[in-house]
Amino acid sequence: MGKKRHLRPEESVCFTTKTTWHAISRLYNTTGAQHDVSASTGFVLLNIDVENGTPATKIAPALGMEPRSLTRMLKTMEEKGYLERKQDPTDGRVTRIFLTDDGKKKRELAKIGVVAFNKAVRDLVPEDKLNIFFEVANTINEIIDQKSIYDKVNVNQLGIKN
């Protein structure tokens, strides 16, 4: 048998995804900092329905966030005056998140940033390549959602000890 070849970082799906996301996030954070909006804050703002508000429980799953992290973020955003919480008039168990006027302005800034970034990418990357990118990303998410990818890995074969 031949020598085992190690996966170089630039060949790793994880490495490429993480470094690309960090670059995008840094871009959004740098641009948003002058308006007191981080990348995370911007994505939360973009996922709140401007007219009807959004149930607090729907935001974290939509963004792939842990509920505890979102709770802290919502508290900070509320303190900054970007949003307010209100009980749902039809279901008192549900708290809806609404944007304040200031929150709507910050949301619009976030939207401008996201649209500009996507336009820049679409101007340089042909649509057929973007379609493949989205297809691959969806497949990766399906693999992750199955939560069984490590069932086939025999840890003992890897020589890892507890």
Give tens-digit pLDDT for 17-29: 999 999 999 999 9
- Residue 99's H or E segment, with its range, is strand 95-99
- Tell me, what's the pLDDT at 31? 92
**Residue 137 forms part of a structural domain:** no
Q: Closest by alpha carbon to 21, among 62, 56, 64, 59?
A: 64
Is 70 domain-assigned?
yes
Distance CA 147, CA 89 (A): 38
pTM of the prediction?
A: 0.81
Q: CA–CA separation, 92 vs 13, rounded Å?
A: 44
CATH number at residue 49: 1.10.10.10
> Per the domain annotation, does 81 fall within a domain?
yes
Nearest to 44 by CA among 17, 65, 19, 26: 65
Q: What is the pLDDT of residues 148-160, one digit of tens each?
A: 777 766 656 666 5
Query: Is residue 20 a part of any domain in this protein?
Result: no
Q: Could you read off the pLDDT of 7-51 as tens digits, one per residue?
A: 787 788 999 999 999 999 999 999 999 999 999 999 999 999 999
Higher-confidence position of 102 and 151? 102
Range of the domain at 37: 32-122
Say if 58 falls within a structural domain.
Answer: yes
For range 134-161, the mean pLDDT: 77
Residue 13 covered by a domain: no
Question: Contact, 63 vs 44, CB < 8 A?
Answer: yes
pLDDT at 160: 59
pLDDT of residue 123 exceeding 90, the answer is yes
Is it the case that residue 104 has pLDDT exceeding 90?
yes
Q: Is residue 15 part of a domain?
A: no
Q: In whole numbers, what is the pLDDT of the chain averaged over residues?
A: 89
Q: Which sign, positive or negative, has the C-alpha torsion 78, 81, 83, 85?
A: positive
Does 88 have pLDDT greater than 90? no
- Report d(CA 117, CA 107) in Å as an integer: 15
- Is 27 a member of any domain? no
87/95 Cα distance (integer angstroms): 5
The number of folded domains in the chain is: 1
Q: How far is CA 74 from the centre of its chain?
A: 15
